[in-house]
Structure formats: structure tokens, C-alpha cells
Amino acid sequence: MIKYYPKPATLYTCPMDPDVIKDKPGRCPKCGMDLVPLVKKEHEEHKHHASMEEDFRRRFFITLPLVLLVMLLSDNIQRWLGISLDFAGREVTLFLLGTFIFAFGGLPFFKGARAELSIRNFGMMTLVALAITVGYTFSVAATFLFPGESLYWEISTLISVFLVGHWLEMRAVRQTTSALGELAKLIPATTHKIVGQNIEDIPTDQIVKGDKVLVRPGEKIPVDGVVIVGQSSVNESMITGESRPQEVRKNSKVIGGSINNEGSLTVEVTKTGSETAIAQIMDLIRRAQESKPKVQELADRAANILTLVAIFVGSATFLYWFLVSPQGVIFATTLAVTVVVVACPHALGLAIPTVTTITSTLGAKNGILIKDMKGLEIARKIDYVVFDKTGTLTYGEFGVSEILKPKNSKITQEEILRLTAAVELHSQHSIAQGIVKEAKAGKIKIPQVLNFKSFPGRGARGKLQNKEIIVGNSKLLEEMAIGEQEINLLVPKIVGTIVYLVIDKKLSGAVVLSDLIRDESKEAIKRLHEMGIKTAMLTGDRLDVAQAVGNALNIDSVFAQVLPKEKVSRVKELQNKGHVVAMVGDGVNDAPSLTQAHLGIAIGAGTDVAVESAQIVLMRNNPLDVVKAIALSRKTNEKMTQNLAWATGYNLIAIPIAAGILYSFGILLRPEWAALLMSASSIIVVINALTLRRVVLTV
């Protein structure tokens, strides 16, 4: 069933953690960032995100000179550099500088920790806040309560690294979420509204249904509508993924955001706002980005566990180096802080959302709209694709597949088509229209017949140059007493519907029509077989017709004369045999079987993109896009696996090193290096996800 989704209520998301979705404003429970409206105008959302990114940048550059000064005033750094900058009040100066860096630079992390603690979801911000608070508290105590070496420079450096890491990370994440903004840019800001004899340039969002707009050559069509004047070709590649320009003329539908090529068009507006194709596409992208694949749930659980592990191992590290293998309180505290820092689970939290965000927008650019990420996750496992025939593998309209003439007859195939079309020109039947269309496509001049008469369910007749021309089926020929033996002389090579031509009561030829196979269908089946996927076809057509199509396409299984309600049982049969089944149909009469299949794919949705029963919606009537969807699923899974492997492997290696397991070999990880590694791991995950943007879905 096809329906439009109602305009959703405002939802809020985290600019750094796209999987966080809330129904009211606040702070992200994972990182503490301010949530931004999900359905906000894209340029506003971009502006909000950019300001938060700028905040981290600003705090980093303000604190950086102070961090360098703290380092110069620290004993360890002076020993390493071989300098001495000792003076009265040096420790107090370090305290004042360290306090400002701790308070000003650490403020975003404290806010984030408070948000996490308020919902008992301990995460990265909690760990960062804990690490810098422990180090700062120890340093203050060493300054005023007991003599000892402070950790001001370590904590200051740690905060500085976290600030620059978050700045760069947010910058990278922003690149993964920019596609919606690119879609929004497809709609021009102003449009040429026709008012009487005048043309007024007004904001596009002020256009209403029924308005008439002028679209000049080279301009973008502002809204969905119907052409009422003009003829041109339109580039819809950014909306539907169709690379070939579409010819449009009077009564043709056009999509907002597509580009008018050479002709001037007058368009009557039929859809505005949330009803337009771009609005529906953007809504589906948002819904896809809100949805979580199963692997995301696994990553979330792993991140929560990792937080608890970090606190436990950090505490155990302190106790071991302070009590079991005593190295002093400073050494033990430093390693404990390092463990907590290096184990921050942000890379795990970003591993999946960054991939799914890019995937949904990459799919949309190729005319593949993903409604649910769980569906795309299943797509990589598909081993059997079931196609509806009519309108999916075939064009769903009658076309001339063969022209027959009696043996030794002097009449040409062109003449047979011309005379048949002359009579059928007066009929509105789909078969008749198919014959007329074929004649016009061949630039055959169709004459006008006289005394036209229709014989419902059988055929029609007319007079042309004093000749009686009759076209019709075998029933009409029986009524005319044309013998079966004569009819059997015209044997078609292709299974289809036969329209006979009778001139002055003599059988003179026949036109064979069939539901023409799409040019891309054979290649799609071939590519699926190369991917190790079997294919089947479901149709209500006769067995001979279905078998002919199946043989032509090399389909593995053909199910003919199947009623819509019976399609479900056919899908179940394949599932019961252990197959992971995808069903491909038009989303209307195939709705039950689309729902029954492991994966429902609605093909040829065009501008009506919100197909209820499918998990993946293909904008074009192109079976090859099914291959693209499965290929996209496999690429997405590959990136998810890589990100999870990196995020998990990083922690498995980094945590033991941070705890001092290699200390006896002279290898020790300091807090600032731990922060750098943690930030780097998150950035690597995001950059790896960004490589998906370069993927070209070709078949």
C-alpha cells in the first residue's frame, strides 16, 4: 500500500552520536552535547552543529598557551629540557593555571558527565570527567596538603588533547551527516510564479497547490507538478538515480529538484511541503538514520560494558602499583588515569551510526531508499530473490513482439502493422494502444478508416480504400467462418496475445503482442546468479506466458497462475526450505508477500516513495537496482565489521598497555598519549566510514 507519512513531531539528535534520538531537547546521554532538532531546516541544523564544533576549537586555542606555560613550569618538563624556571609562588601559579584549564577546558566534559549520570548511562564523558578530576584533585592536594609532585601538566595536556580530538572528530562526523543538506539544496530558493500575464519571483515555500510556475531552460523545477505547456527533457538523477534524461511534455509529471534541460516549461503545482518527492526522500533518510541494525545494539552493550571495565581496571591498576608493586602514589595515579582515558568507548559508539548515516544517503543518491537499517542488514544474507513479473521484470504494458504473414503472401510486415493500427486507432483497449504505439514508433503513417465498428471482446472493423479491414481474436475469426486450419498457418515464435488481420474476408496476417521484458531484467538475473543468489518469478499469468519469460531470463523457478493471496504461501515455501528470501514487487498488490519475505523491496515507486510494506524502496523501474541494493548492503556490512574490529581491537591492546603490563620493558603510556590514541581511534572509525562516500554502485 502506498501512503504518505504524516509530518513527524520534532525529534532531537546528538550531532556526534547520530543514533541518539529524543523527543525533547536536552543533552546527549553519551557525550553531553546539546541535542539538535532532527527535523529542523538543514541549514539551521548545520549552523548549530558548526557552533558546537567551533566551541571545542575556541576552548582549545584559548587554553593551549596556558597548557604550554604549565608544561614549562613543571619539574619533569624542565628536567627533560635541561632548564630551570623556579621562583617563589611557582606551585601557586601552576595551581591557578591548572584550575582555569580544568574549569574552562573541562566544562563540556563535566556537562556531558552530568547528563550521563542523570540517566545512569556511564560513557565517554563520565570517564573523561573522572580522569581529569582525579588528576586535578591529586595535584591540589600535592600543592597544599602534602609535599609532592603534581600532575598539572599531565591533566592540562590531557584536556587540551581531548578538546582538539573532539573538535576534529565533530568535524569528521559532520561530513557524514551533510547529505540531507545537499538534498535540501536541490530546491531553489525562489521560483517564477505566473500571475495572469505577469511573472513574479517569490520564495518557493510560498507556492501552493494549483499555482502555475515557469521553469526556464537550465533551471531547477521548484516543486512537484504537471506540465501544462511546453516540451523538454528533465534530469532526475539526483532524485531517482536515473542517469538518462526523461522526456516531458503536456500532462507529464515532474519532480521538484530535477533540472530542466533545453525547453521552457509551465508547470502546475500538485504537491508542496511534506508531500513532495524530496520531502519524502529526506523523511525516509531520517527514519533510516534513526533505525538501528542489530549490530548497533551489540555495539551499544559493548560500550556500556567497556565503561564499567575501564573504571574497574583503572581502580585495580592504582591498587596494584600503589600496594602490590609499590611505585608511589603519583605513578599509580597516573596509570589509573591513563587506563580510564584510553578505554573511553567513543570509537565503539561511532562505529555503526557513522556507517549507517552515510549508507542511507549513498543509497538515496542511487535511487535506493532504505526505510529500516535492519532490512539492509538482512540484504547481505539474501540467497533467493523472488520477483513479481508484471511491471517489475516486464514493462507491464502490451508491446508488439512479432508480426506474422501467410506463406507466399506479398503483403509486408509494415503493411500488416499499418492496416491493423488503422482500425485499432479508434479503440482505447490496451492491446490496441500497443499496436498503435508500435506503428508510431516506426514512423508509419496511419490512415483513417471509415465506418468503424467495435465488436466488444472480439475485435473491430473499418473500411479503407473500399476494402473491409477486420482485426480481432480467434473468436471473431470463427464467427467469420475462417477455418482453424488457415489460422494454424500463422504460428508465433513468441508466446503472447494474437490480433489477426482480415482483408476482404481473407486472413492476411497477424500481430503478436506480449508484456515486453525490461531491457535490464536479463542482466539483473545474471548478476544475481554471479553473486550466488537464486531467482524466482511470481505471476498470475498463464503458465506458457510465464514460462516463456522465465526461459528468456534464465530464472531458476517460475510460479504461474498465482493469485495475490497465494504469493505469500510461495514465499513461505522457499523460507521453509531454509532460504533467506527477498521479495521484489510494486508495493501494492504484492504487499502481503513483501511483508512475508525476510526483505521486502518495492520497485518503481517513482515519486510515491513511502511504500508501507517494503523495507527498501527503489525509485526506478529497474531490476538492476536490486543488485545495487544487495551490493550496498555488503559494502555497509564490510565497513561495520571493520569499524567494530578496530574499536574492539584497539581497546584489547591499549588497556593492558595503559595498565603498565609492558613497564618492565620500559614501555609506559602517559595520559596525554592515551587521550591522543582515544581521539585518534574515534577519528579513524569516522574516516573509515567516510570512504563509503566514494563507493560507486555499478553493476
Q: Which residue has cell 583503572?
A: 314
Query: CA-to-CA distance for 448 and 463, rounded, in angstroms?
Result: 9
In the DSSP assignment, the letter for residue 391 is I
Query: CA-to-CA distance for 57 and 36, rounded, in angstroms?
Result: 19
Instruction: Give strand pairing partners of 235.
Output: 259
* Choice among 388, 515, 586, 590 that is catalytic: 388
Query: CA-to-CA distance for 567 and 589, rounded, in angstroms?
Result: 10
Question: Residue length, the chain?
Answer: 699
> Residue 511: CB partners within 8 Å, gap ≥ 6?
400, 402, 403, 404, 416, 417, 420, 435, 498, 499, 501
Query: CA-to-CA distance for 665 and 516, rounded, in angstroms?
Result: 74
CB 540 within 8 A of CB 562: yes
**What are all long-range contacts of 462-469, with beta carbons under 8 Å and residues at least 24 apart?**
462/422, 462/423, 462/426, 464/419, 464/422, 467/503, 467/504, 468/503, 468/504, 468/505, 469/419, 469/422, 469/423, 469/501, 469/502, 469/503
CB 151 within 8 A of CB 367: no
Query: CA-to-CA distance for 613 and 584, rounded, in angstroms?
Result: 11
Q: Is 388 known to be catalytic?
A: yes
Burial of 555 (0-12, 13-18, 19+ CB in 10 A): buried
Instruction: Count Cβ neighbours within 10 Å for each residue of 510-546 and write b for 16 or more, e otherwise.
Output: bbbbbbbbbebbbebbebbeeeebbbbbbbbbeeebb
Query: CA-to-CA distance for 374 and 378, rounded, in angstroms?
Result: 6
Query: CA-to-CA distance for 208 and 191, rounded, in angstroms?
Result: 12
What does R_g of the chain's alpha carbons equal in angstroms? 35
Alpha helix positions (H), 18-89 = 42-73, 75-81
Helix (H) or strand (E) holding 653, with range, is helix 624-658
Question: What amino acid positions are annotated as catalytic residues?
Answer: 388
